Amino acid sequence: MQIGDIKKICVVGAGNMGHQIALQAALSGFRVSCTDTSTDALQKAAQFVETYLPERVVKGKLTTEQAASARENIGFTGSLEEAARDADFVIEAATEKIVLKRKIFAELDRICPPHAILATNSSFIVSSKIADATSRPSQVCNMHFFNPALVMKLVEVVQGAHTAPETAEVTVELCRRMGKTPVLLKKEIYGFLVNRILAALSNEALFLLDQEIASAEDIDVAVVNALGHPLGPFRLMDLTGIDLSYHIAMELYQETGNPSEKPSPTIVEKYARGEWGRKTGRGFYQY
C-alpha cells in the first residue's frame, strides 16, 4: 500500500489519547471514525471536538473553513464494525493490557479490508506480542503518539521483525502527513526510545519519594530548575495518568516475574485509591 491509498483512518479508543489522535488526523484531511465501547467516553470525545475547534478559530490557529472541514471529517461510533470496515489504516489506542489489545486486533483483522495497516499506539507493548492475533503480521506495527497528541510532535514508529518495510515506510509518511515528526526504531525494544529514558528518571524519582528523602513537590522543583524539564516527573505522571503507570509496571512484572519490576508502593497506593492524576482530580497534586 502507498501513502496515497490512505483515505480513511479508524481510531480504536476515544479516551484522552484516542480522541486527540482522531482529531489530529481529521485536521490533516483524513476521514476518521473513532470508536469505543464506552458511551461516556464517546460523548466526552465528541464534546471535546465541539469545544476545541471553535476555540482554535477564536485564537486564530484555524480558519473557519479548516475547523468546519475537520468537523466534517470526524465521526464517533460505538460499533467497531462500522468504524473499521472500510478503514485503510487503524490506530488502536485502548488500555495498556495485552489481552485486550490482542482481542481488538483479532477483531480488526476480521473486519478491516485486506490492505489495511493495523498500528498500536501502545507506549510499551511491542507489536510482535499482538501481530500473531491477526492473519497480516507484516501489516502490524507500533505508532506511538505522545500526550497530548494534538500538541506533541514526536511519534515513535517501531518496525518489529514481523513488520514489512513498506508498512513502516507508509506509517512514517502518515505521521508526516498528520503534521508529526516521526522517528523509526528498526528493532523492537521494551519502552522504545523516550519512555526508556523517562522510566529511568521516573523510577529514581519514585525511589527518592518512597524512601522519604524528599517530597514530590521538591523533586519536581529540582528536575525543572536544574535539568530544564518543562514538567517534573510527578506532574508528568499526573498528566499521563497514574493508572497507566500502574498497568505498565504490572505488565512488565507479570512478564518477567522480577520483583524489582513491581510498581512503586506509592503508585500502588494511589492506583487503589483512584487518585490517577488530572483525570480524577487528584494524584500527586490536586486539580
Q: Are 32 and 26 in contact (CB under 8 A)?
A: yes
Helix (H) or strand (E) holding 19: helix 16-27
Catalytic positions, written as ranges? 123, 144, 156, 195
List of long-range contacts for 197-201, beta carbons under 8 Å, 24+ apart = 198/236, 201/233
List of long-range contacts for 78-83, beta carbons under 8 Å, 24+ apart = 78/35, 78/36, 78/37, 78/39, 78/42, 79/35, 80/12, 80/35, 80/104, 80/107, 80/108, 80/111, 81/111, 82/33, 82/35, 83/10, 83/11, 83/12, 83/33, 83/34, 83/35
